[in-house]
């Protein structure tokens, strides 16, 4: 197996045993990027020189037996919504095409402390708004499993880069499913941690109360490794949780005997794609074989897309409309040229700098927050959000883990849903409620559809129960191997 | 027709915290090189997040308590959305539905005596940057962006420009006492807006209010209100109607001018700031803040009246500045000190010097102990008033001990009758005309001779004794 095809936990051992060097590993991923990224377009920027220099430094330190971080020498790709000091951070947008971040995101600083090697920034739907990675100013990313299909979104570049072996690890961000859905579509593992488990400082905000950074990797063990490196309280993020980080690897392989896996009937409506439904039921059955107990649960609000999708988009767009006001051409980023007065400068800058979907969401969000509509939309959505959270709380009184599909279908064709934003929004029916509730969720590849494309399974756990979630995901992964 | 003026005020006070409201940058921005106190947070770099400044919460709660407000245990920060270059994020983080302090009052002095002005709310927000227009370019300084700003809003119970003036003065006094703010209007640390309307006297309904902004000095507050009231009366008397607009005060021309009135249709789209969690203040925290409150001006005034028996005018001057009040007290409590003469000197000679030289009492070289010693020398007759002023001048400029200064300068009062007899005799001899006048019953001329004796003794003569001796020698 080529170096770039291996997992991080395998490579860490091989690096430690001096079988390979960090330079060889980084070079292998860079070669792979050279070979395939012209087609896949998973990356917006690649820092080959910086990555190799860093790799050499790691190798030198290892040669001197200096202490190294847990991810020493492992290449990682970052969704281009995470600030890396001195590097371009575009958010997939023209408006930030040339923006150089003056600081490191906390998660990035943690990766540096773990001695991981940042090889580049990955493509994404503009400002993380999208489910297909087609809304990027830098062109769409293609699904490595089938270049006619989308990789999912918004972290499509990160999922595709991992799936195409262009990197060993990646970070994405998940606001309504943006890590889990592309992981599902590309056949890799993607985790959205509990809201507040990973610092959002330096994650360019789409919807502040929903955004979380999450690992994308080839297997569950790598996800646990990566989460270990980035989880923790950050005084710079008031919404981060001040609770000690457990050892996610410690009990990973302990099995799932006695754990209760809940299935909500609402997650299997009549019209659900038969392959997807079958895969989820089969996954539940194999977990039962492995010692889990299956239970039926109800999610009368959280299980209904008509509540969740509306609530999710009202809150996300409302927050986004304010979060994106700072891109006004005054301080940084694109500014319209010409002899313009202030209003014209704002109007032209934002009209030129933002893509269609971003403009749509800013307008919808602005509307939802407007005087006279606030109570009917934004406030109401917050009330429904509380009901959704309570739904999950109640469900978790009778089970440890919830199991559902990740998305209603396998990866769709490029261009298939771009003309119908509402259809596109329905990609999030299994994932958005999870962000609204703030609970952790993971997408694990489980089966392949008749089209040969991966079908992912979503597992959910109560807040801060990532260890249990990963244990269940690890067990599920074993049944597919 | 006679009209009643109805005024509500919004006062913005910049808090004197070390760091800004939501980041670690220094909050100080007055005469600081542009854009040197900035960071990713206060310049709204993508991905940067706010963290609440706890000290700003404390100072606001202290102000609320000093204004007799209820402190709300459940606090929510909200985003106030509007687009302007001095506002880096495109929204101001403020408090909307749930302010930190509510339902308080301030006692002011009105024409009819003491009066309570209702304080509807005191809340916390962040300041904007500063724009500077130079020809065709506009420059922005973000040093001020994110500086903690406290907003104090009254009800509509202010009835005149004088009341507004006194209210503002009381607010400034309180924030200065608390060390919450410098309260300097000329430096922009305190900014004021007034909502002004008039109505026929006796009416219960409110007239249409006009918001007047840009009140950057105490004088501006008084003048702008007076002008606006006059203007509204004229509009009504000419059969017109006051329109609900936002006006700006033009200090130079002394008029209010309508500002672009897009303000009226502005929708700030407030919603809870998702980057901050709700703040739940524990009773213990609120109690601790309450215990930290220093003695407030009103309490100090009552105490000064009771303990030192001072008149209201002196008290008002003494308590204006807490440091001055403390200086007075330290002196007044010295053994043997007479509080009234201490007050006279502090409000007289010391204040004159402080104002003339624009220095603070903290920097005065005359210690309270020295002042008391000086007053004792006068009281004991060791020096006269003239000499006392000379000693004070020396103390003010160089410090030191009054007794030593009296000694070195030879200012000790001459109360020795034989020595003075000689001087008086000499002066009478040299001024026979004056002596005759006095003998003829023109006693005012005694003053003239006294002046001559003072001259003769280089100001050291005991004036009472001199007067007696003159009368004695002339047998009047």
C-alpha–C-alpha distance, residues A96 and A314, integer Å: 25
Closest residue in B to A373 (Cα) is: B269
Q: Which of B49, B50, B267 lies nearest to residue A370, judging by beta carbons?
A: B267
pLDDT of residue B290: 95
Question: In chain B, what is the greatest distance between 2 CA atoms, to the nearest angstrom?
Answer: 96
CA separation, residue A51 to residues A22, A54, A75, A163, B390 (Å): 10, 5, 8, 20, 79
Range of lowest pLDDT (A20-29, A86-95, B360-369):
B360-369
A226 strand-pairing partners: none
Kindly state the average pLDDT of the residues A341-369: 97
Q: Which fold has domain B417-474?
A: Arc Repressor Mutant, subunit A (1.10.10)
Q: Are A169 and A217 in contact (CB under 8 A)?
A: yes
CA separation, residue B279 to residues B56, B78, B101, B306, B406 (Å): 13, 12, 13, 42, 62
Give the domain ranges of chain B: 3-289, 297-409, 417-474
* Secondary structure (DSSP) of B254-284: TEEEEPPGGGGG-----EE-TTSPPEE--HH
Min CA distance, B100 vs chain A (Å)?
19
pLDDT tens digits along B101-130: 999 999 999 999 999 999 999 999 999 999
**Structure-token pair, residue B356:** 């003339």
Model pTM score:
0.90
Secondary structure letter of residue A377 according to DSSP: I
C-alpha–C-alpha distance, residues A440 and A462, integer Å: 7
Provide the CATH number for the domain formed by A3-230 in this structure: 3.90.1300.10
| Among A224, A168, A173, A162, residue whose Cα is nearest residue A202 | A173
Q: Alpha helix locations (H) across A66-105? A: none
Kindly state the average pLDDT of the residues A324-328: 98
Q: Do A205 and B81 touch (CB under 8 A)?
A: no
Mean pLDDT of chain A: 96
C-alpha–C-alpha distance, residues A150 and A419, integer Å: 15
pLDDT tens digits along B222-243: 999 999 999 999 999 999 999 9
pLDDT of residue B413: 75
pLDDT tens digits along B263-316: 456 799 999 999 999 999 999 999 999 999 999 999 999 999 999 999 999 999
Q: Do A239 and B277 touch (CB under 8 A)?
A: yes
Q: Which residues of A touch B20 (CB under 8 A)?
A: none
| Among A172, A149, A113, A127, residue whose Cα is nearest residue A361 | A127
| Among A152, A215, A126, A142, residue whose Cα is nearest residue A428 | A152
| Among A453, A351, A426, A440, residue whose Cα is nearest residue A132 | A426
Q: Are B92 and B79 in contact (CB under 8 A)?
A: yes
Tell whether A253 lies on the interface with B, counting CB pairs under 8 A. Answer: no
Q: Is the pLDDT of residue A151 over 70?
A: yes
**Structure-token pair, residue B197:** 């309307």
Tell whether A93 lies on the interface with B, counting CB pairs under 8 A. Answer: no
Helical (H) or strand (E) element with A264: strand A260-264
Q: Do A366 and B51 touch (CB under 8 A)?
A: no
pLDDT of residue B264: 52
Q: Do A99 and B275 touch (CB under 8 A)?
A: no
Catalytic residues of A: 79, 154, 178
Q: Are B53 and B20 in contact (CB under 8 A)?
A: yes
Q: Which residues of A touch B49 (CB under 8 A)?
A: 200-201, 236-239
Q: Is the pLDDT of residue B1 over 90?
A: no
pLDDT tens digits along B152-176: 999 999 999 999 999 999 999 999 9
B407 falls in which pLDDT band (50, 70, 90)? confident
A56 falls in which pLDDT band (50, 70, 90)? very high
Q: Are B60 and B101 in contact (CB under 8 A)?
A: yes
B262 falls in which pLDDT band (50, 70, 90)? very low
A338 Rama sector, left if φ>0, alpha if ψ -120 to 50, beta otherwise: left
ipTM over 0.90: yes
Q: Which residues of B touch A102 (CB under 8 A)?
A: 40, 45
Q: Is the pLDDT of residue B466 over 90?
A: no
Q: Do A205 and B47 touch (CB under 8 A)?
A: yes
CA separation, residue A31 to residues A34, A38, A55, A294 (Å): 5, 12, 15, 46
pLDDT of residue B263: 47
Kindly state the average pLDDT of the residues B133-151: 94
Residue B367's contacts (CB-CB under 8 Å, 6 or more residues apart) are B399
Give the domain ranges of chain A: 3-230
C-alpha–C-alpha distance, residues B104 and B94, integer Å: 20
Min CA distance, A371 vs chain B (Å)?
6
pLDDT tens digits along A66-78: 999 999 999 999 9
Secondary structure letter of residue B380 according to DSSP: T
Percent of chain B topping pLDDT 90: 67
Q: Are A247 and A38 in contact (CB under 8 A)?
A: no
Q: Which of A204, A238, A239 lies nearest to residue B46, judging by beta carbons?
A: A204
pLDDT tens digits along A261-320: 999 999 999 889 999 999 999 999 999 999 999 999 999 999 998 899 999 999 999 999
Candidates A325, A342, A372: best to mutate against B (most CBs of B within 10 A) is A325
Mean pLDDT of chain B: 92
């Amino acid at each position: 197996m080529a170096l770039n095809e291996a997992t991080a936990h395998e490579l860490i051992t091989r690096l430690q045993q001096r079988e390979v060097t960090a330079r060889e590993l980084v070079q292998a991923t860079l070669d792979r990027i050279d070979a395939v990224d012209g087609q896949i377009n998973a990356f917006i920027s690649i820092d080959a020189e910086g990555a190799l220099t860093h790799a050499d430094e790691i190798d030198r330190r290892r040669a001197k037996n200096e202490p190294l971080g847990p991810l020493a020498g492992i290449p990682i790709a970052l969704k281009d919504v995470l600030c890396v000091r001195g590097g371009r951070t575009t958010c997939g947008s023209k408006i930030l095409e040339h923006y150089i971040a003056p600081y490191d995101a906390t998660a990035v600083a943690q990766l540096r402390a773990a001695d991981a090697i940042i090889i580049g920034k990955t493509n994404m739907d503009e400002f993380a708004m999208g489910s297909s990675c087609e809304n990027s100013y830098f062109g769409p990313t293609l699904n490595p499993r089938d270049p006619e299909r989308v990789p999912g979104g918004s972290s499509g570049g990160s999922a595709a880069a991992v799936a195409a072996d262009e990197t060993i690890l990646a970070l994405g961000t998940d606001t309504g499913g943006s890590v889990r859905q592309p992981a599902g579509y590309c056949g890799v593992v993607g985790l959205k941690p509990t809201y507040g488990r990973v610092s959002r400082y330096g994650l360019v905000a789409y919807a502040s109360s929903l955004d979380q950074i999450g690992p994308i990797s080839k297997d569950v063990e790598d996800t646990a490794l990566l989460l270990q490196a980035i989880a923790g309280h950050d005084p710079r993020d008031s919404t981060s949780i001040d609770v000690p980080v457990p050892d996610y690897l410690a009990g990973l392989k302990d099995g799932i005997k006695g754990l209760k896996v809940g299935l909500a009937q609402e997650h299997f409506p009549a019209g659900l794609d038969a392959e997807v439904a079958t895969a989820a039921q089969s996954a539940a059955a194999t977990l039962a074989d492995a010692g889990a107990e299956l239970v039926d649960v109800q999610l009368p609000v959280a299980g209904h897309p008509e509540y969740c999708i509306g609530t999710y988009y009202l809150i996300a767009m409302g927050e986004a409309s304010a979060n994106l006001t700072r891109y006004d051409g005054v301080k940084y980023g694109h500014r319209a040229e010409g002899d313009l007065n202030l209003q014209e400068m704002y109007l032209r800058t934002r009209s030129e700098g933002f893509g269609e979907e971003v403009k749509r969401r800013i307008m919808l969000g602005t509307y939802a927050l407007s005087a006279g509509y606030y109570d009917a939309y934004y406030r109401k959505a917050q009330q429904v959000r509380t009901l959704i959270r309570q739904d999950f709380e109640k469900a978790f009184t009778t089970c440890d883990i919830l199991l559902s599909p990740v998305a209603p279908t396998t990866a769709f064709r490029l261009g298939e849903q771009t003309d119908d934003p509402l259809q596109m929004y329905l990609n999030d029916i299994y994932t958005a409620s999870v962000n609204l509730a703030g609970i952790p969720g993971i997408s694990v590849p489980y089966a392949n559809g008749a089209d040969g494309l991966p079908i992912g399974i979503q597992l959910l756990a109560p807040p801060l129960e990532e260890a249990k979630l990963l244990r269940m995901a690890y067990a599920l992964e074993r049944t597919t191997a | 027709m006679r009209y009643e003026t109805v005024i509500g005020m919004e006062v913005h006070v910049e808090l004197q915290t070390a760091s800004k409201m939501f980041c670690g940058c220094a909050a100080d921005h007055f005469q600081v090189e542009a854009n040197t106190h900035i960071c990713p947070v206060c310049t709204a770099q993508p991905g940067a997040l706010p963290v609440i400044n706890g000290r700003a919460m404390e100072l606001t709660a202290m102000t609320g308590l000093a204004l007799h407000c209820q402190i709300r245990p459940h606090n929510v920060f909200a985003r106030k959305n509007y687009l302007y270059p001095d506002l880096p994020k495109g929204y101001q983080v403020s408090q909307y539905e749930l302010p930190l302090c509510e339902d308080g009052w301030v006692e002011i002095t009105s024409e009819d005596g003491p009066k309570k002005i209702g304080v509807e709310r005191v809340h916390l927000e962040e300041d904007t940057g500063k724009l500077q227009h130079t020809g065709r370019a506009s420059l922005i300084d973000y040093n001020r962006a994110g500086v903690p700003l406290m907003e104090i809003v009254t009800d509509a119970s202010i009835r005149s420009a004088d009341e507004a003036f006194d209210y503002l003065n009381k607010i400034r006094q309180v924030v200065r006492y608390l060390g919450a703010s410098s309260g300097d209007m000329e430096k922009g640390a305190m900014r004021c807006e007034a909502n002004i309307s008039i109505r026929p006297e006796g009416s219960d309904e409110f007239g249409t209010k006009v918001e007047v902004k840009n009140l950057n000095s105490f004088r501006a507050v008084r003048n702008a209100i007076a002008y606006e009231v006059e203007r509204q009366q004229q509009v009504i008397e000419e059969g017109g109607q006051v329109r609900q607009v936002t006006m700006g005060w033009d200090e130079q021309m002394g008029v209010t001018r309508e500002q672009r009135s897009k303000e009226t249709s502005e929708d700030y789209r407030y919603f809870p700031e998702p980057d901050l969690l709700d703040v739940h203040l524990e009773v213990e925290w609120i109690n601790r803040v309450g215990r930290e409150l220093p003695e407030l001006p009103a309490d100090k005034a009552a105490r000064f009246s009771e303990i030192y028996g001072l008149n209201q005018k002196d008290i008002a001057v003494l308590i204006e500045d807490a440091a001055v009040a403390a200086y007075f007290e330290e002196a007044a409590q010295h053994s043997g000190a007479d509080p009234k003469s201490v007050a006279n000197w502090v409000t007289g000679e010391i204040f004159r010097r402080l104002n003339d030289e624009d220095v603070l009492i903290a920097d005065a070289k005359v210690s309270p102990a020295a002042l008391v010693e000086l007053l004792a020398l006068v009281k004991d007759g060791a020096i006269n008033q003239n000499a006392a002023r000379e000693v004070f001048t020396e103390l003010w400029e160089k410090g030191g001990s009054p007794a030593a200064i009296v000694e070195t300068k030879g200012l000790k009062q001459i109360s020795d009758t034989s020595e003075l007899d000689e001087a008086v005799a000499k002066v009478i001899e040299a001024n026979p005309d004056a002596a005759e006048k006095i003998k003829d019953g023109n006693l005012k001329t005694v003053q003239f001779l006294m002046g001559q004796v003072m001259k003769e003794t280089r100001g050291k003569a005991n004036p009472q004794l001199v007067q007696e001796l003159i009368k004695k020698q002339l047998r009047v």
